Structure 1
Amino acid sequence: MTHINVLDPGASPLDYYGFELRRYREAAGLTQRQLGDIVNYTGSLVGQIETARKLPTPEFSERVDAALGTGGLLSRLVALVLRSQLPAWFQQMAELETRAVEICAFQTHMIHGLLQTRAYVRAVLGAYDPSDLEDRTAVRLARQAIFAKAEPPIFWSVVSESALLQAIGGRETMRGQLAHLLSFEDNPRINVQVLPFSAGSHPGLTGSFSLFRFAGDPTILYTERYGSGHPTPNPESVRDCSLRYDHLRAAALSIKDSAELIRRVMEERYGEQGDADEDPVA
């Protein structure tokens, strides 16, 4: 366990955050408990974050920034801290998300991480490994902060209809997740299209992939397998998957028709009416 007197700010982003939090708190002449009272958290939690035993959240960072007059330092650091907690093989993907001006993603079996709700994230991450679930959930959700930037990326998500029907987390979780997708219906920067079963054979049968486009750098194609991610700027691979994506988007329902399908599935399959033991309507 890290001791506060030997905390090395150069050891990791989390250690640096804790070091700065402690420095600002002590400069303000506050104990951990006093700061906790001001920002409506326990002094114990403040201490755990200062000693790099607990991950800070964006909400905690915003409150402490305001209380200690840090000029927004902790709110800027927390994104780096949370990104550093992602699996090592996934960190490059998260960096691509923060730099891209356009992201085009195709998902075969679940909703894209940038559009997932908290309950859906918990169900996905906890399906195999329930350890540290709160922190891992916060880390995944933190990626969605890219949509709050002054110049957020344009995001295109083509998702297979099967992702709407796979009841991840149960009826209530899926109802909330599909309602979340519908909340982007009038957002021109976040576009969701459903690839229906009626499309039959399509260019995405080999699996999910994402394309990241940048203002001044080559487009990156990203694919992944169990426990490994594979970004590549190879022009031939990028051209091939860009064409595949164009065809997937053409085969998918329009944004309006996709929203209508999502709404129908949400109401008929995951609606509050009906017996949970009955066969849901597809």
Structure 2
Amino acid sequence: MVNRKELNPASSPRAAYGARIRQVREGFGWSQEDLAGKLTYSSQHVSAVETCRKPPTLRFSRELDQAIGTAGTPESFEREWREMRHGVLLEGFPEYVGHESRAVEIRLYEVGVIPGLLQTPDYAATLEADAVRREAITQEQADERVELVAKRQAALLKSPSPLIIAVLDESCVRRPMGSPAVMDEQFARLIEFAERPHTVLQIAPFSMGERRPFSLPVTILTLSDRSLMSYAESSQQGHLERESAFVVPILAAYHQLQAESLSQAASVAMVQELRKGNS
């Protein structure tokens, strides 16, 4: 197509929103004119939002959801607009969440905190309450983040369920978060997670030292067509990598991480001991 602008979804939340419009639109086999015919907006306006020349609005998002049948769902454009407007998510994360909900295998590594897919509501709320205390976010944003954690977890309760491998740095389980009751419930959640049929829980102990291949959290997704993508975050933004030439070495490093980490049985035993000491 002549003058087709290439989009980089990872560059900003607005870019992720626009790229998703294009993905959905082309999935239906629609041109920008076809989509505009289902909205009260012109094809020029659709093009401008899709290519980030104009910001999306609540009304545009709602009309888009009605046109494609996503109104009131976790994948709605309205939800994405609200998250983008309130700054709930890091750049690059909105697109990642969409892929995560469709993945058949999820491999994650986390440092310092229990990852969102394994958090209890009280643990998530405690984590966000501290961000409110530091005035990094508002209470409304904190509530939206906690709600997003629950929605991400709910999206994975499908059949067949995805394989989820979670390797947690020892700091994740050693760091107290909130009251002893909050941690007791969180430890119980980790033990319950390890007992599920399609999950693996491992702890990467401090004793690994320099053999730990990652210094930051990383997630690797395998989609139904066996394609791979990885997602990593800094304090300011997230990066979604789709090029297999870059993802395969990350996957290899992840396998090395698993080999060096405690077995699931030993990991659960550590959590159980920490739970006893917490009471």
TM normalised by structure 2 equals 0.67
Cα distance, 1:217 vs structure 2: 5.3
Matched, 1:115 2:164: no
Query: Which amino acid is the alignment partner of residue 119 of structure 2?
Result: Q
Partner of 1:11: 60
Q: Which has the higher contact order (CA 8 A, sep 6+)?
A: 2
- Deviation string, structure 1 residues 64-118 (Cα, Å, up to 9, x no partner): xxxxxxxxx99x8332248523526221110121121101001121111111010
Partner of 2:139: 131
Matched, 1:103 2:106: yes
Cα distance, 1:141 vs structure 2: 1.4
Q: Secondary structure at the match of 1:11?
A: helix
CA distance in 2, matches of 1:235, 1:15: 32
Give the length in aligned residue pairs.
207
Q: Secondary structure at the match of 2:156?
A: helix
For the pair shown, the structure with the greater C-alpha radius of gyration is 1
Partner of 2:89: 87
Cα distance, 1:185 vs structure 2: 2.6
Matched, 1:161 2:161: no
Q: Select which of 254, 260, 271 maps to 1:251.
A: 260
Describe the shift of the 1:259–1:15 C-alpha distance in structure 2 as closer, same or farther (beyond 3 A): same
- Deviation string, structure 1 residues 227-262 (Cα, Å, up to 9, x no partner): 311011222321221111001111111111111110
Partner of 1:140: 149
Cα distance, 1:204 vs structure 2: 3.1
Describe the shift of the 1:83–1:91 C-alpha distance in structure 2 as closer, same or farther (beyond 3 A): farther
CA distance in 2, matches of 1:119, 1:153: 25
> Where does the alignment leave 5 or more consecutive residues of structure 2 unmatched?
1-56, 133-137
CA distance in 2, matches of 1:245, 1:149: 25
Q: Select which of 182, 190, 212 maps to 1:173.
A: 182
Describe the shift of the 1:257–1:239 C-alpha distance in structure 2 as closer, same or farther (beyond 3 A): same
Say what the alpha-carbon RMSD is for the aligned residues.
2.5
> Where does the alignment leave 5 or more consecutive residues of structure 1 unmatched?
1-7, 18-72, 272-282
Cα distance, 1:166 vs structure 2: 0.8
Residues 114 and 143 of structure 1 are in contact (CA less than 8 Å); yes or no, is this contact kept in structure 2?
Answer: yes
Describe the shift of the 1:264–1:123 C-alpha distance in structure 2 as closer, same or farther (beyond 3 A): same
CA distance in 1, matches of 2:131, 2:64: 29
CA distance in 1, matches of 2:273, 2:121: 22
Describe the shift of the 1:258–1:156 C-alpha distance in structure 2 as closer, same or farther (beyond 3 A): same
Describe the shift of the 1:14–1:173 C-alpha distance in structure 2 as closer, same or farther (beyond 3 A): farther
Residues 108 and 219 of structure 2 are in contact (CA less than 8 Å); yes or no, is this contact kept in structure 1?
Answer: yes
CA distance in 2, matches of 1:104, 1:185: 14
* Equivalent runs, 1:122-271 vs 2, <5 Å: 122-129=125-132, 130-132=138-140, 133-216=142-225, 218-268=227-277, 270-271=278-279
Matched, 1:77 2:72: yes
CA distance in 2, matches of 1:147, 1:101: 10
Residues 156 and 191 of structure 1 are in contact (CA less than 8 Å); yes or no, is this contact kept in structure 2?
Answer: yes
Query: Which amino acid is the alignment partner of residue 79 of structure 1?
Result: P
CA distance in 1, matches of 2:107, 2:148: 22
Cα distance, 1:263 vs structure 2: 0.6
CA distance in 1, matches of 2:168, 2:149: 19
Cα distance, 1:178 vs structure 2: 1.0
CA distance in 1, matches of 2:102, 2:184: 31
Describe the shift of the 1:97–1:162 C-alpha distance in structure 2 as closer, same or farther (beyond 3 A): same
What percent of counterpart residues are identical? Answer: 23
Cα distance, 1:135 vs structure 2: 3.1
Cα distance, 1:139 vs structure 2: 1.9
Query: Which amino acid is the alignment partner of residue 139 of structure 2?
Result: S
Describe the shift of the 1:226–1:9 C-alpha distance in structure 2 as closer, same or farther (beyond 3 A): closer
